[in-house]
């Protein structure tokens, strides 16, 4: 197991945010977001983060590099529902020569009438819904393992 990061429930611990509105197609028969969609939300935020730092995923591929997911962890804390506005908080949490880890926090804005007294889910203005981590390797587009790009290990070293 490569997973070594404990995702924080404090939004201020994350360096990047990406907003997502829950679509009806992402919900299940219980009218909540199906568990598989959280990994899709993580991926969407990860792709946006890479573009934000000037290293879009399309450029990785053009450089002959891929970053396959080796492991993933999701902790479902409170369900998300159709049409909710979610914020995916993301941080490049750790990097070695061969792998990197991304940490995620999914929150939803808390309406005044929904004040939550549970300290595990109350972050002030946001309700904690999900936390997670993805572990990525680095390969060539031919599928051969390779070291992480220097810019990525340097970026990880600068993270708080």
Domains of the chain from N-terminus onward: 11-158 (3.10.129.10)
Contacts of 147 (CB under 8 A, 6+ apart): 97, 98, 138
- Name the more confident of 157 and 107: 107
For the record, the structure tokens of 149 come out as 């790009």
- Residues 111-154: tens digit of each pLDDT: 655 544 444 444 457 899 999 999 999 999 999 999 999 999 99
Q: What is the largest CA-CA distance in the chain?
A: 53
Catalytic residue among 10, 13, 19, 28: 28
Is 10 an annotated catalytic residue?
no
- Residues 67-106: tens digit of each pLDDT: 999 999 999 999 999 999 999 999 999 999 889 999 999 9
Contact 78, 33 (CB under 8 A): no
Q: What is the pTM of this model?
A: 0.88
CB-based burial label for 138 (10 Å; 0-12, 13-18, 19+): buried
């Amino acid at each position: 197991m490569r997973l070594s990061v404990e995702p924080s429930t404090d939004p201020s611990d994350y360096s990047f945010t990406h907003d997502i509105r829950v679509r009806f197609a992402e919900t299940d028969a219980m009218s909540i977001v199906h568990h598989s969609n959280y990994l899709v939300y993580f991926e969407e935020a990860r792709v946006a983060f890479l573009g934000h730092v000037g290293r879009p995923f399309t450029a990785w591929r053009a450089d002959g590099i891929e970053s396959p997911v080796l492991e993933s962890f999701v902790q479902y804390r409170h369900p998300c529902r159709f049409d909710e506005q979610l914020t995916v908080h993301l941080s490049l949490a750790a990097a070695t020569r061969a792998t990197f880890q991304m940490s995620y926090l999914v929150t939803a804005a808390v309406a005044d009438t929904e004040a939550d007294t549970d300290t595990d889910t109350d972050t002030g203005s946001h309700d904690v819904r999900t936390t997670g981590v993805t572990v990525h390797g680095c390969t060539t587009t031919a599928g051969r393992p390779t070291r992480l790009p220097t810019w990525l290990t340097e970026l990880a070293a600068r993270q708080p």
